[in-house]
Structure 1
Amino acid sequence: MPSHLFADRPAPQPPERDAVEALINRTRLLRGDVDAVRRDTTVVDDDDPQLRWQRALCELAVHQLDDLGEHLGQLRDGISDPADAGHASEAAPRTAPEPSTNSLVGKVGSGEWNLLTDEVSWSDELYQIFGREPGTGALSLDQLPSLLLAEDQPLLTSMVTDCLVDGRPMDGEFRILLPDGSIRTLHMMGEPVLDSDGCTASMWAVLRDVSRLRRSQHVVGRTRNALRSREERARAEHRVAVEFQEAVLPPWRGSLPAPGRGANRLDVAAHYQPSGSSDLIGGDWYDALPLPDGGTLLTVGDMTGHGVPATSAMAMLLGALRGMAVAGIAPGAVMGHLNQLIECSAQPALGSAVCCHFDPATNTLAWAQAGHPAPLLFRDGMGRPLPAPDGVLLGAASGVSYEQDQVNLLPGDVLLLHTDGLTRRNDRSACLDTLIGLAPRFAQARTAQDCVRIVVEELGSTERLDDACVLVARVGV
């Protein structure tokens, strides 16, 4: 039986893999073109600040295209480990206002620190990045660390030392605290400028505001972790639900000879068919239980929902049903007690069920149902549903009674019990027509297991919205 909760519109679909692959190829081509321009700028005179600026912009563009290619690759391949998010803060501190642009990279500024004259030159953009008025003057290399968060100051000191002493290029990120108390993340790239004697004369650098980019990466990381946690929970729930179901449903597979000898002997077989559209286990059950009075309990049912809640509710009802059947309580009264049990349970639920008691002494089947498809009786190559006694869904109403009916079975008769979900849209009418159409094949079958196999061959490949159970009982000839 499908859950009472459903979606009336299809879920949003992810981008087509081929479209993302095309974007990746275009990004690679563009990256190659930009890289060619960058290589051309490396042969120019380093004494020209404008040319150094052009080369730095090319470097930044290459970095951004590399990031874009990696993110598109993640989109194509699914959830994966993201690129290092630098110093993105887990506390998500308050950040400075962003430039009016749709780009994840904010303003880009440049600066140069002359070691011979102690002169410092900043671009207008760099003043804006640091939240300073141009009239206040640029910061020296000794003053610059005072704006950084305490934990990032050693990184800047190491970068500047390596650049000035060892002549290494700078490439790193740090966070600064602005006068208004907000925080920005800056990416700094630079290198030493040598004089004619090969000594370091000055240091230039390009800084870009990557606060928005890092914040976006932080959000992506949190979302990725949430998705992974949800997937892990779903896998764990699926595993528990499967183990729960396997522990509760009968351990037998194939035919189960029920008590009785000769013509009244029952041959029983059943099959559980999982949903084709969900990884979660439903609350469907089947059971065939020999009873102390010599009879046999035959039952199928379904609880709404999926996962552990559905399987736990199924286990509760099936356990109670077995106990009452063993105690000799008639099927109609069993349905009423199950309805009361759901009313008293902590978790509200809905369920449907069929409960049958076969008496081999009289060859009669007493049965009751709660909002469930009636058993199908196949005889002499013909099939029909048994007239259903009154019975509402379990948990749908309180204080209701369930009628009980009785039918005589003959040697060779086949009784088929099933839950909803066998067809694509859980259409009872279509399912009934399909099953009744199998009557000639049932007449040729020699065992209950053969009948179950016929049902699975006919409906097993159907894309179902819900789980389904089929139980077949064949009266011995």
Structure 2
Amino acid sequence: MPSPVSADRSAAHPPGPGSVDALITQTRRLKGEVDAVRRDARSDGGDPEERWQRALYDLALHQLDDLDAHLAQLRDGPEPEPAAPPIAPGEPPAGTAGGSLLSRVGSAEWHLLTDEATWSGELYQILGRDPAEPALTLDELPSLVLDEDRPRLTAMVTDCLVDGKPIDGEFRVVRPDATVRTVHMMGEPVLGADGGTASMWAVLRDVSELRRHRRTVRETRDSLQRHRREERTEQRIAVELQEAVLPPWRGSLRLPHQGPRALDLAAHQLPAATATLIGGGWYDALELSHGETLLSVGDLTGHGVSVASGMATLLGAVRGMAMAGAHPGPLLAMLNRLLDATVQPALGSAVCCRYRPETRTLVWAQAGHPAPLLYRDGTGCVLTAPDGVLLGATSGAVYGQAEVTLEPGDLLLLHTDGLVPGHTGSAAVDRLLDLAPRFGAARTAQDCVRTVAEEFGATERADEACVLVARVTA
């Protein structure tokens, strides 16, 4: 109930019903559009960004609901004071749904000369008081306010009455049912005929639900930011762990203590389309006793720090058991027992090869992994795989071994799944075998790896992939 004369201007004439109806129509149209976008974007996932988006949509809809109700109240005028009995403790105000923002705006005027107060029916509803009781004066109003918010209310009233400043602030009130509501108050001093302050009028709005939704948005935003920081930290740790464990090959690998090189070696890791997907793929070459060489390629399912750490553990175990003299088949069996004994279940695949340069013999075994490809005289073939299930799939698994004799100039290619994007199984193998003529023309193993990267590296892949090439030189 704004007074006709305020401290600095006459009250504005209310807008006509037609203009308010037009605003209501626009508000409802916008509300429908926002609701449609919210339904299209709704997801049942637990992703923090999705939760934050849902909270923002809900907040926008509640504010549009609120605006719709306030415009309708502006068009229809204040509701008459209800003749209903007092509100029972815990009962929502009349005409509102529990938890709703609708119809929660009231008005009041406090007359300084007579010390009287006039409240609208809506204000009684907001404060949960009996409309039959007299309205509280400015001296009595702080009795409803939380102790920590009373200085704020006192400062607002003092600024208004003494300095003629408009009121604009919030405070929390305790209703008779012991519920706490947040009230936003806006108002101005009203001048009397002598130019002095005669009264103060204000519009009070229950913004409890609005503040709750804003708090939800803030909390979900903070949760999203924490989640993103954790993701960046995990990614950095996973990358550093991966770089620390995998051989940093930027060209052909020269094994340190071997005399004349029996193998020309090169390897490469092709990244996933999403940089955050740091997986458990590895490639490795290790010089063993008597000039033998261990070649291994494998992959542990999953992504992140725990998977990168598991990959480092597996690779360390492969190296240690190979140095101790374990052959490929028994080595994979022990690796399977290691995974079976870990606290967190995991699955992995691997191929392990042991090359003897004196006889140019390759002994190898696989655990649910693509078999090595052998290129000779411009053509390629898939080596016949011995028996072997995925690592960690079953206890007590036995892994067979196969043996093949290589010739000078032969090229062996080991790889993980996903090397050929969009192709799996035999289709991926066919694409790799088609590279035989280009491998035959290549001078080094590094040239062959570069050919693979040029052919398949530009295409986005769902997961990272590893390739290792070994060319028999003597």
Say yes or no: TM over 0.5: yes
> SS of the counterpart of 2:291?
coil
User: TM-score w.r.t. structure 1 length?
Assistant: 0.79
Alignment of 1:19-418 (within 5 A): 46=6, 51=11, 54=14, 97=92, 99-100=96-97, 104=101, 106-258=103-255, 260=258, 265-277=262-274, 279-418=276-415
Aligned-pair CA distance for 1:474: 1.2
CA distance in 2, matches of 1:426, 1:137: 80
Contact (CA 8 Å) 2:5, 2:190: kept in 1 or not? no
CA distance in 2, matches of 1:460, 1:95: 65
Q: After superposition, what is the alpha-carbon deviation per residue over 1:217-236, rounded to whole angstroms, capped at 9, x for unaligned?
A: 11111111111111111111
Aligned-pair CA distance for 1:340: 1.0
Q: What residue identity is the alignment partner of 2:221?
A: R
Q: Does 1:421 align with 2:418?
A: yes
> SS of the counterpart of 2:132?
helix
Q: What residue identity is the alignment partner of 1:349?
A: A
Q: After superposition, what is the alpha-carbon deviation per residue over 1:397-448, rounded to whole angstroms, capped at 9, x for unaligned?
A: 1112111111111111111100012233561222211111111111111111
CA distance in 2, matches of 1:322, 1:122: 83
Contact (CA 8 Å) 2:6, 2:188: kept in 1 or not? no
Aligned-pair CA distance for 1:105: 5.8
CA distance in 2, matches of 1:102, 1:147: 21
> SS of the counterpart of 2:409?
coil
Q: Does 1:446 align with 2:443?
A: yes
Q: What residue identity is the alignment partner of 1:223?
A: T
Q: After superposition, what is the alpha-carbon deviation per residue over 1:13-32, rounded to whole angstroms, capped at 9, x for unaligned?
A: xxxxxxxxxxxxxxxxxxxx
CA distance in 2, matches of 1:436, 1:104: 67
> SS of the counterpart of 2:330?
helix
Contact (CA 8 Å) 1:371, 1:392: kept in 2 or not? yes
Q: After superposition, what is the alpha-carbon deviation per residue over 1:24-57, rounded to whole angstroms, capped at 9, x for unaligned?
A: xxxxxxxxxxxxxxxxxx9x8549x9956949xx
User: Which residue in 2 is equivalent to 1:431?
Assistant: 428
User: Which residue in 2 is equivalent to 1:18?
Assistant: none
Contact (CA 8 Å) 1:257, 1:265: kept in 2 or not? no
CA distance in 2, matches of 1:97, 1:225: 32
Aligned-pair CA distance for 1:253: 2.3
Aligned-pair CA distance for 1:329: 1.3
> SS of the counterpart of 1:257?
coil
Contact (CA 8 Å) 1:46, 1:52: kept in 2 or not? no
Identity %: 59
Contact (CA 8 Å) 2:418, 2:463: kept in 1 or not? yes
Distance 1:97 1:383, change over 3 A: farther
Q: 4+ runs of 1 displaced by more than 4 Å?
A: 44-47, 49-55, 101-106, 259-262
Contact (CA 8 Å) 1:106, 1:212: kept in 2 or not? no
Contact (CA 8 Å) 1:260, 1:266: kept in 2 or not? no
Distance 1:104 1:454, change over 3 A: farther
Contact (CA 8 Å) 2:92, 2:98: kept in 1 or not? no
Distance 1:96 1:173, change over 3 A: farther
User: Which residue in 2 is equivalent to 1:25?
Assistant: none
Q: After superposition, what is the alpha-carbon deviation per residue over 1:58-115, rounded to whole angstroms, capped at 9, x for unaligned?
A: 9xx9xxx9xx9xxx9xx9xx989x9xx9xxxxxxxx9974723997465111101011
Distance 1:207 1:53, change over 3 A: farther
CA distance in 1, matches of 2:183, 2:399: 73
CA distance in 2, matches of 1:299, 1:431: 20
Q: Which ranges in structure 2 are unaligned for 5 or more consecutive residues? A: 39-48, 60-88
User: TM-score w.r.t. structure 2 length?
Assistant: 0.80
Aligned-pair CA distance for 1:463: 2.0
Distance 1:97 1:220, change over 3 A: farther
Aligned-pair CA distance for 1:196: 3.1
Aligned-pair CA distance for 1:260: 5.0
Q: Which ranges in structure 1 are unaligned for 5 or more consecutive residues? A: 1-41, 86-93
Distance 1:278 1:121, change over 3 A: same
User: Which residue in 1 is equivalent to 2:67?
Assistant: none
Contact (CA 8 Å) 2:277, 2:304: kept in 1 or not? yes
Distance 1:463 1:114, change over 3 A: same
Contact (CA 8 Å) 1:426, 1:464: kept in 2 or not? no
> SS of the counterpart of 1:181?
coil
